[in-house]
């Protein structure tokens, strides 16, 4: 059964339907959260929150508003983005608190690291067993067809959890341009041939 | 100067688009679909959505695009997550479905269903805390004291479920009854849920025990139907949990054979 059929059963308390739904969506939910958060432990925690929330609030799903999968993955994406933004804001405060003293020490010690590296120590991405299959291949191929700016605008926002204002700052572009690049990028993805139904 | 220019441009465009809300640019639909708005803008745009069927359609279409991006990131979830979630689900009350207003009225006004979904998408409390909230649904008719007690209990449950070393297990017993547990060795606590326990025969109760080799069984209290209980102070060498039928006020030690028993080895206890 598809997620669209299972979710209404779950809303009526059907635990078996939830198990089936778990089988369908746990990979996409965990993978998406992991893509945004990178950190394994945090991703597991957020995925767990999302999947439980799914059980708890299944009755809120309204098929008139879109597919069950869209509803579920939107929920997962929002939770992941909330978490990554919270962590960034906390990191920001900490950096301010550590502040000047260390920066001066670092300047004395040698040339400062590039802005980007100092601002955001990124974990190296661990190789992970892929599951996305044809969908993943299709998206990879279609993302390649975008211009660099379209590609960056879409992926910095969706996969890295930056707001469009942050994306504009990082790419040194006006807000309007960023919104346009995002729209063009998504439109071009939509028109990319071979889209899975 | 440039800033003013951009704002003016947005306003003109909104006006041209026939949009009624002064400062909510229609152009936010795309960043909204990518979850790339800050909280204020999100709220503003969602208010705008309620009055803009065209934006609603657009957001739905954009959601189909982002679903592709999401599915492309799919990786298998950690194997342990499944049992943990399924056990937590057994301990978690669901929200009652809202009564569906008649379709004509809903379409005419266009807002209730949407408002509900948007609330679902924007609620910021962690779901684990909500396990507690669902659990509290029972408690609304109780006295305040009782409510406080249940609220504290619900917090404890959420705490155990969120422990980094929380592990889940379950077992089946006689006549279709079952016992599910999510336990954390570091907290020495477990959330225990019984399922399928029929009301015990007249005037008797189901009692939960911690069993450990070479020690007397320790009572973990009486079970109230399928309401989850938190077992505290579990010994590192706790071997299993068991449920027995006892007199209504409970016993000092088990007086009948367990109706269901669950070994704790797989959740990090025992030796």
Q: Which residue of B has its CA nearest to A143?
A: B69
CB B230 within 8 A of CB B205: no
Q: Mean per-residue pLDDT for A120-131?
A: 52
Judge: A176–B9 Cβ closer than 8 Å, yes or no.
yes
Q: Last residue of some domain: B20, B44, B71?
A: B71
CATH number of the domain encompassing residue B216? 2.60.40
What pLDDT, on the 0 to 100 scale, is given for residue A129? 60
Residue B118 lies in a domain: no
Whether CATH 1.10.1740.10 fits A3-85: yes
Residue A40 has pLDDT above 50, yes or no: yes
Residue B206: burial class (beta carbons within 10 Å; 0-12, 13-18, 19+): buried
* DSSP for B128-161, written as a single string: HHHHHHHHHGGGGGS-HHHHHHHHHHHHHHHHHH
What share of chain A in percent tops pLDDT 90? 62
Give chain B's domain count: 2
Is residue B20 included in any domain, yes or no?
yes
Tell me what pLDDT residue B199 has.
73
User: Is B81 part of a structural domain of the chain?
Assistant: no
Query: Is residue B8 scored above 70 in pLDDT?
Result: no
Return d(Cα B161, Cα B84) in angstroms, integer.
Answer: 8
Which tens digits make up the pLDDT trace of B23-45? 446 789 999 999 999 999 999 89
Is the pLDDT score of A53 beyond 90? yes
Partners of A70 on chain B (C-beta within 8 Å) are 60, 63-64, 66-67
pLDDT given at position B148? 65
Residue with tokens 């044809």: A134
Residue B213 within any structural domain of the chain: yes
* Residue in A closest to B113 by C-alpha: A62
Domain-embedded: residue B228? yes
Closest chain A C-alpha to B216 CA, distance in angstroms? 36
- Residue B98: per-residue pLDDT: 61
**Quick check: A116 pLDDT over 60?**
no
Q: Do A32 and B92 touch (CB under 8 A)?
A: no
Query: Is B235 inside a domain boundary?
Result: yes
Query: Domain boundary at B71, B97, B122, which?
Result: B71
Distance (Å) from the C-alpha of residue A119 to the closest C-alpha of chain B? 20
Among chain A residues, the shortest Cα distance to B30 is held by: A183
Query: Are B85 and A129 inside 8 Å of each other by CB?
Result: no
Is residue B266 within 8 Å of residue B166, measured between CB atoms?
no
- Residue A29 is predicted with a pLDDT of 97
How many angstroms away from the CA of B253 is the closest CA of chain A? Answer: 34
Which pLDDT score is estimated for A13?
Answer: 92
For residue B111, the chain A residue with the least C-alpha distance is A65
In a domain, B102, yes or no: no
For B206-228, the pLDDT digits (tens) are: 999 999 888 888 999 888 877 77
Beta-carbon count within 10 A of B200 CB: 19
Asked if residue B144 is part of any domain, the answer here is no
Q: Are the C-beta atoms of residues B198 and B191 closer than 8 Å to each other?
A: no
Percent of chain B with pLDDT over 90: 17
Q: Which domain holds residue B27?
A: 2-71
* pLDDT, position A68: 96
Q: Which of A12, A26, A167 sits opposite B77 (nearest CB)?
A: A26
pLDDT > 90? residue A57 = yes
The band of A104, judged by pLDDT with boundaries at 50, 70 and 90, is low
Cα(B125)–Cα(B57) distance, integer angstroms: 28
* Interface mutation target, options A60, A86, A184, chain B, most CBs of B under 10 Å: A60
Most confident of A174-178, B135-139, B151-155: A174-178
Best of A57, A72, A80, A173 to substitute, by most chain B Cβ atoms within 10 angstroms, is: A57
Q: Looking at domain A133-191, which CATH architecture does it have?
A: Orthogonal Bundle (1.10)
Closest-CA distance of chain A to residue B28, Å: 8
How many CB pairs lie under 8 A apart between chains A and B? 227
Measured CA distances, A7 to A3, A54, A61, A68, A72 (Å): 6, 9, 8, 7, 10
The token duo for B112 is 């209730």
Q: Model confidence at A151, in pLDDT bands (50, 70, 90)? A: very high
What per-residue confidence (pLDDT) applies to A181? 95
Residues of chain A with CATH 1.10.10.10: 133-191
Q: Give mean pLDDT, residues A69-82.
A: 96
The pLDDT of residue B203 is above 90 = no
- Sign for the pseudo-dihedral over CA of A86, A92, A96, A102: positive
Under an 8 A CB cutoff, do B31 and A179 touch?
yes
Instruction: Please state, in angstroms and rounded to a whole number, the distance separating the CA atoms of residues B31 and B21.
Output: 18
Chain-chain contact of A139 with B69 (C-beta, under 8 angstroms): yes
Spell out the residues 6+ positions from residue A157 whose beta carbon is closer than 8 angstroms to its own.
A163, A164, A167, A182, B31, B34, B35, B36
**Cα A8 to Cα A2: distance, rounded to the nearest angstrom:** 11
Other beta carbons less than 10 A from residue B94's beta carbon: 18
User: What count of other Cβ atoms lies within 10 Å of the Cβ of residue A64?
Assistant: 11
In the sheet with B260-263, reading across from the earlier edge strand, the strands are B218-223, B204-211, B240-247, B260-263
């Amino acid at each position: 059964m598809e997620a669209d059929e299972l979710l209404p059963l779950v809303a009526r308390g059907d635990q078996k339907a939830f198990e089936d739904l778990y089988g369908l969506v746990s990979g996409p939910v965990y993978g998406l959260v992991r893509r945004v958060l990178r950190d394994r432990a945090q991703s597991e925690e957020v995925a767990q929150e999302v999947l439980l929330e799914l059980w708890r609030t299944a009755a809120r799903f309204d098929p008139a508003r879109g597919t069950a999968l869209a509803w579920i993955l939107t929920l997962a994406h929002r939770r992941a983005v909330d978490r990554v933004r919270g962590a960034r804001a906390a990191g920001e405060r900490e950096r301010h608190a550590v502040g000047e003293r260390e920066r001066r020490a670092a300047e004395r010690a040698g040339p400062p690291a590039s802005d980007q590296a100092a601002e955001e120590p990124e974990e190296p991405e661990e190789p992970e067993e892929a599951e996305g299959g044809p969908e993943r291949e299709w998206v990879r191929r279609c993302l390649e067809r975008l211009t660099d700016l379209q590609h960056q605008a879409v992926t910095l926002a969706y996969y890295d959890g930056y707001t469009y204002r942050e994306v504009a700052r990082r790419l040194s572009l006006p807000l309007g341009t960023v919104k346009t690049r995002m729209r063009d990028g998504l439109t071009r993805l939509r028109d990319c041939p071979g889209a899975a139904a | 100067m440039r800033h003013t220019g951009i704002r003016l441009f947005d306003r003109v465009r909104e006006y041209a688009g026939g949009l009624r809300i002064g400062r909510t640019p229609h152009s936010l639909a795309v960043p909204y679909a990518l979850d790339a708005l800050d909280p204020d803008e999100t709220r503003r745009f969602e208010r705008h959505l309620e009055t803009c069927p065209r934006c609603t359609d657009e957001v739905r279409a954009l959601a189909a695009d982002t679903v592709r991006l999401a599915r492309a990131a799919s990786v298998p979830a950690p194997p342990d997550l499944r049992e943990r979630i399924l056990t937590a689900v057994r301990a978690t009350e669901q929200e009652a479905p809202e009564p569906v207003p008649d379709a004509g009225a809903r379409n005419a006004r266009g807002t209730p269903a949407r408002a509900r979904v948007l609330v679902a998408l924007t609620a910021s409390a962690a779901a684990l805390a909500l396990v507690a909230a669902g659990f509290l649904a029972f408690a609304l008719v109780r006295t305040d004291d009782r409510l406080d007690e249940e609220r504290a209990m619900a917090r404890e449950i959420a705490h155990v479920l969120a422990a980094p070393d929380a592990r889940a297990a379950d077992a089946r017993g006689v006549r279709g009854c079952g016992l599910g547990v999510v336990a954390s060795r570091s907290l020495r606590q477990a959330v225990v849920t019984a399922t399928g326990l029929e009301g015990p025969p007249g005037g008797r109760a189901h009692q939960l025990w911690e069993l450990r080799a070479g020690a007397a069984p320790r009572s973990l209290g009486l079970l109230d139907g399928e309401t989850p209980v938190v077992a505290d102070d579990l010994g590192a060498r706790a071997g299993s949990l068991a449920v027995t039928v006892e007199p209504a006020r409970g016993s000092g030690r088990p007086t009948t054979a367990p109706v269901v028993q669950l070994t704790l080895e797989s959740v990090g206890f025992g030796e």
